[in-house]
Homo-oligomer: A and B are copies of this chain.
């Protein structure tokens, strides 16, 4: 009814809560209070209560939160029980690393195909997938398609690849190229700009020495 919009900042904290709760549960903790979470996570207790309340009253006055219930709720909110197919475009260093890393599949994000334009890597195997020529992108999508498109190309190819992924019906783009791709409203983009991250690091190494 009161379709309150969830602030981006809250959404970005959800994985942190989830990760923390997984740890608590593993240690056998049953209940947790916002003040204990505050202490452990370095977040303000009011903020934690407010964040969690965006999605409903998961706690109980005088008690706190039940660890596994809360973990379950956050998992549900994040959609972690889903089963998603990822197409990885670009089989360079990053593309290969993502395809080879088994952790994503464990979270329900399964690399379904990987593509490149370089004849030297086409046909080679990375993480159990054979690198296909990029021209077969649309054809490959006929067998199951993809939910997520992962862009691991150079900046120069990123927009064109994004356009093709969107045309395929991809609903979300995970962009590792150092370029801000433009997509329709209905598609969302999650950027991982490693170069930007490195530059921030560089700034900090030099801060004050201006």
Min distance, Cβ A2 to any Cβ of chain B, angstroms = 14
Number of interface residues of A (CB under 8 A): 54
Give the residue among A77, A94, A103, A199 with the most B Cβ atoms within 10 A.
Answer: A199
Determine whether A194 belongs to the interface, using a CB cutoff of 8 Å to chain B. yes
Residues of A133-149 at the interface with B, using a CB-CB cut-off of 8 Å, are 147-148
Determine whether A80 belongs to the interface, using a CB cutoff of 8 Å to chain B. yes
Min distance, Cβ A159 to any Cβ of chain B, angstroms = 13
Determine whether A206 belongs to the interface, using a CB cutoff of 8 Å to chain B. yes
Q: Which 5 A-B pairs have the closest CB atoms?
A: A79-B206, A97-B97, A15-B196, A15-B199, A93-B97
Subset of 12 A-B contacts with CB under 8 Å: A12-B200, A19-B195, A19-B196, A77-B203, A80-B199, A93-B97, A93-B98, A93-B100, A97-B97, A107-B202, A188-B204, A192-B197
Kindly specify which of A44-52, A61-69, A171-179 makes contact with the partner chain: A171-179
